Structure 1
Amino acid sequence: MKKFKIGYRTIKTAVGACIALLIAEYFDLHYFSSAAILTILCIQPTKKKSLNAIYTRIVASLIGMLYAFLALELVGYNPIVLGIMLLVFIPTLVSFKFTDGFISSVVIIMHIYNEANFTVSLLLNELALMAIGFGTALAVNMYMGDLQKDLDQYLKNIEELYRSIFSEIVKYLRNGDTSWDGKEIIEAANLLNKAKSIAFKDVENHLTRKENQFYLYFDMREKQLEIIERVLPKITTLPVMVQQAELVADFMEELANNVHSGNTAKKFRSKLEEVKEEFATMPLPENHEKFLAMASLYQFIEEMDKYLVIKQTFRGIRR
């Protein structure tokens, strides 16, 4: 059984439905309870989705009223005519990509069918219900919870996982410690998926914003994680420990201590070049196992250069 929880969207749905109902009842509209239904249908998780939902439902409802007038008023108010009208109405919404507005438009259509008389008074009543229902939903949906705190926490947790991963690599290179189970890799992947979802939601809550620094940051970290996952088996299965392993360990330790959202990739790429130069001055491998170990280490630092290139393209998070 899931933990009982009342979220922002649930609260907004309840409050919005209550407000719409009170307003429609105050103005003594026929079918006033439908205003609450229209509000509920438009409550969305983000501002952009809310605007799109309201636009879609307004257009679908207007088309529905037009179809109801042409079919029911001109042909007759009976179930067969209503059914034939829906056979034409639904494909129309699909063609114009307004299918999300079908339920709200049917609410309006059924009012017209129940009245069996399309009058100016009825038209104004339905337009008023739409204005109250959709307007209340828009007003309620303009308030969205601040996601900044969540994004900051995800960033902090992900960077901590990267430090742990690099520290485990250092332990292996220095001490041959093979006790690490790699759980931080899985945790990082899961956190990145959740973090990107929250960051995208934040974009959707800003009507004029097309991108989010946090989303770009988490996307960058995800690409880096792919490199780490790809190269990790090579660096943690060395046949023997060679002198070059200490060089790589020193570099990885410094990198682990400098995992943050700022852009220091250029600095660490320079350090990586120094590591490569030191590699070149060291004695050649004495046997096949040492050759394989050195080759794996060199391949690892080449991959870490790609890791840093990805970070170098990121401008950093401005606070």
Structure 2
Amino acid sequence: MRIGYRTLKTAVGTPIAIWIAQLMQLDGAVSAGILTILCIQTTRKSSVLSAWHRFIATLLAMFISIVVFESLTYHPITIGIVLLLFIPITVKWKITPGIVTSTVIILHLYQARDISFQLIGNELLLITVGIGTALLLNLYMPSLDKKLLEYQERLEHHFKVILKEIATFLRDGDQAWSGKELTETEVILDHAESYVVRDIENHLLRSHHPFYSYFQMRRKQFELLKRMLPLASQLNHTYAQSFQMATFFDELSDSVHPGNTSTIFLEKVHRLKKKFEEDALPQTREEFETRANLYRLLQEIEQYLILKKTINKNGKPAFHKKERLENTKKNKD
């Protein structure tokens, strides 16, 4: 059984927060541990937001509790009045993650039945210890570069297989392929994009991620590949143009990687288009339909290559594995 970082931080942070609260001789030291559990999040950004929401919500809860309990009385009904006032405000201020922790503080104040400056100071220190412990633990977040590189390699392998299958369709008319790479590619893209979002949120000052544009580009290319497959599977493989296209797709399959080879292949597409235009006109309806579908296939693959060219020109493309690891090492140095 694998233990995740969030579980490990919770297991370490909770007793530490309680221990610190006990050293400070705070009443209700266990509440510091509860705050730590609630503030441990999967990313730095979500941890900071969670801590901020809970801190503001707790201050609001304390203010409303003091006013209601001291103005009315300490009775179970007044707890309901406090919550009726408190919860709608947290919703309006968009700090609802702080409702649970603030309720604990409200019950502390109710149980004391005498709100003093000492009690208020005790509660503020509990909040500081609990939230502070969680924030310190969340300063460390494991790098996701290795996982993203793994997704990149798996994705490019699947692209190679799909392009190779299109070449096989064009050359041999073979339709024995199971197509499992299509389903797996969807899953890889979903997982990769979720990891990119997590990595962005682990860097509070980062607004761009080198992998974000890359996986967005691959998703758009994948949609084009799915459109090409029906075209390729319906083509008659007995014509010379089909063999020429098959050779092109074979070469493209062998060249799938994060680098920029799109310009070279775009030139090949343009040469193929020109050659098709110079070929003798179709003699039969079947040949006409085949040539028309081949031309559509060329247009689709042209868009596929233009996407890659655009991302390499305007975006921040992902590096090869070796280059990526070298850059990561330089940044650490």
Q: How many residues align?
A: 316
Distance 1:241 1:45 in 2: 56
Alignment correspondent of 1:261 = 258
- In the other structure, the counterpart of 2:111 is 114
Deviation at 1:94, TM superposition (A): 0.6
Q: What is aligned with 1:161?
A: 158
TM-score, structure 2 normalization:
0.93
Give the C-alpha shift of residue 125 in structure 1: 0.5
Shift of 1:306: 0.8
Q: Give the 3-state SS of the residue equivalent to 2:189 in structure 1.
A: helix
Give the partner amino acid of 1:151: L
- Are the counterparts in 2 of residues 34 and 129 from structure 1 also a CA contact under 8 Å? yes
The answer on 1:38 being equivalent to 2:35 is yes
Show the counterpart of 2:15.
18
* Correspondence for 1:5 among 2, 19, 37: 2
Partners of 1:76 and 1:264 in 2: CA distance? 76
- Tell me the CA shift for residue 317 of structure 1: 2.0
How far, CA to CA, are the matches of 1:116 and 1:74 in structure 2? 12
Per-residue deviation, 1:242 = 1.4
Is 1:276 the counterpart of 2:273 in the alignment? Answer: yes
Picking from 80, 91, 96, the partner of 1:94 is: 91
Match of 2:53 in 1: 56
Q: CA deviation at 1:219?
A: 1.1
> Are residue 299 (structure 1) and residue 326 (structure 2) matched?
no
Quick check: 33-42 or 167-176, which moved more? 167-176
Structure 1 segments, 4+ long, off by >4 Å, are: none
**How far off its partner does 1:62 sit?**
0.3
- For the 8 Å contact 2:53–2:97, the answer to whether it is kept is yes
Residues 72-221 of structure 1 mapped to structure 2, 5 A cutoff: 72-221=69-218
Shift of 1:240: 5.1
Any conservation in 2 of the 1:263–1:314 contact (CA below 8 Å)? no
Deviations 1:203-256 (A, max 9, x none): 110111112111211111001101111221011111453110111112111111
Deviations 1:14-35 (A, max 9, x none): 1111110111111111000000
Task: Tell me the alpha carbon deviations over residues 155-208 of structure 1, each in whole angstroms, 9 at most, x when there is no partner.
Answer: 000000000111111112122211112111111111111011111111110111
For 1:74 and 1:178, locate their aligned partners in 2 and report how far apart those are by CA, in whole Å: 80
1:257 maps to a residue whose letter is D
Note the alpha carbon deviations across 1:74-118, whole angstroms, 9 max, x for none.
211111111112111110111111111100111111111110111
CA distance in structure 1 between the partners assigned to 2:114 and 2:236 by the alignment = 87
Q: Does 1:250 align with 2:247?
A: yes
2:62 maps to amino acid: M
Residue 289 (str. 1) matches residue 290 (str. 2): no
Percentage identity across aligned positions?
42
2:228 is equivalent to residue 227 of structure 1: no
Match of 1:237 in 2: 234
CA contact (8 A) 2:163 2:249 kept: yes
Cα contact 2:173–2:236 (8 A) shared by 1: no
- Specify the code of the residue in structure 2 equivalent to 1:61: T
Q: Return 5+ residue gaps in structure 2 as ranges.
A: 325-333
| CA RMSD across the alignment | 1.1
